[in-house]
Every structure is written in C-alpha cells, then in structure tokens.
Amino acid sequence: MTGHDLDALKSEIAYKIYNSSVSRYPFAHSETGDFLPVRLLEEILEKFKRNS
C-alpha cells in the first residue's frame, strides 16, 4: 500500500466521521456503518494470513 493509498483511506475514514451523527440518549454514542473501507480490511486480512 502506497502513501497515496493511505492518504485516500484516511480521507475516506475522516469523511465518515465528519458526517456521522451523535446520539445523546441514553449516553453519547455514534454508529457508523461500514466505517473501515473494504480495501483496508482486505489488506489487514491478507497480511494476517501471511504472518500466521
């Protein structure tokens, strides 16, 4: 994964955070579906498989 790829992933995650809403009841929390990009999860799984 290149630096450009990482910047794109950071931007995508930041966009999701900025556009999420916070619920105050019964406590402050937020739910963001598909928070991590699929290509990041695939990269993690690929590296995990190689190291196990």
pLDDT per residue as tens digits for the range 35-45: 999 999 999 99
Number of domains in the chain: 1
Which residue stretches of the chain are H helix?
Answer: 3-18, 38-51
Model pLDDT, residue 29 = 95
Averaged pLDDT score across all residues of the chain? 91
Residue 50 has pLDDT above 90, yes or no: no
pLDDT in tens, 13-34: 999 999 999 999 999 999 998 9
Other residues' Cβ atoms within 10 Å of the Cβ of residue 16: 15
Question: What is the C-alpha separation between 26 and 29, in angstroms, rounded?
Answer: 9
Q: Which structural domain range is residue 37 located in? A: 3-51
User: pTM, whole model, 2 decimals?
Assistant: 0.73
- The rounded Cα 43 to chain-centroid distance in angstroms is 12
